[in-house]
Amino acid sequence: MATIFSKIINKEIPSDMVYQDEYVTAFRDIEPQAPVHILIVPNKEIPTVNDIQEDDEQLVGKMFTAARKIAADEGVAADGYRLLINCNQHGGQEVFHLHMHLFGGRPLGPMLLNR
Ligand code: DGP
């Protein structure tokens, strides 16, 4: 179940970490698609949105609270930003440790490019 994100959370491998508390960790995406592109990850290993349990509701809320703080710290809160979670193959998920993308720093265009 462990992915590369667990090693980042545990600081076994380096990352550009911007936030960490007992619930969540956030670090810059290795292949940024916007001037600000940060991944917000629960410290608990949850593979996908499909695996979120009722007991995880507070933890999922912590991901949003972290997003709000990080957006302010990165200076993108007022202009706006996008939060995105991919799930499984059709969603384009590549790393099977739940994560929320925070994109910002430029107008992000339409939500889906290929309809
Ligand atoms: P997703 O497609 O939603 O599963 O996005 C996975 C993202 O994770 C992708 O944008 C690239 C990023 N990523 C993958 N491996 C690493 C890594 O080792 N370090 C960092 N910082 N980001 C990574």
Question: pLDDT tens digit string along 57-112?
Answer: 999 999 999 999 999 999 999 999 999 999 999 999 999 999 999 999 999 999 88
CA 29 / ligand 1 centre spacing (Å): 6
The encoded tokens of residue 22 equal: 């007992």
Name every protein residue with a CB atom under 6 angstroms from any ligand 1 atom: 4, 15, 27-31, 39, 86, 92-95
Structural contact between residues 95 and 5, judged by C-beta atoms closer than 8 angstroms: yes
Q: Which pair of tokens denotes residue 37?
A: 């592109």
pLDDT at 113: 76
- Name the active-site residue from 37, 97, 99, 101: 99
- pLDDT tens, 14-53? 999 999 999 999 999 999 999 999 999 999 999 999 999 9
**What are the residue ranges of helices labelled H in the chain?**
4-9, 57-74, 88-91
pLDDT at 1: 76
- Distance between start and end Cα atoms, the chain: 33
How far does CA 97 lie from the centroid of its chain? 10
**Active site annotation includes 99:** yes
Please give the class, per CATH, of domain 4-104: alpha beta
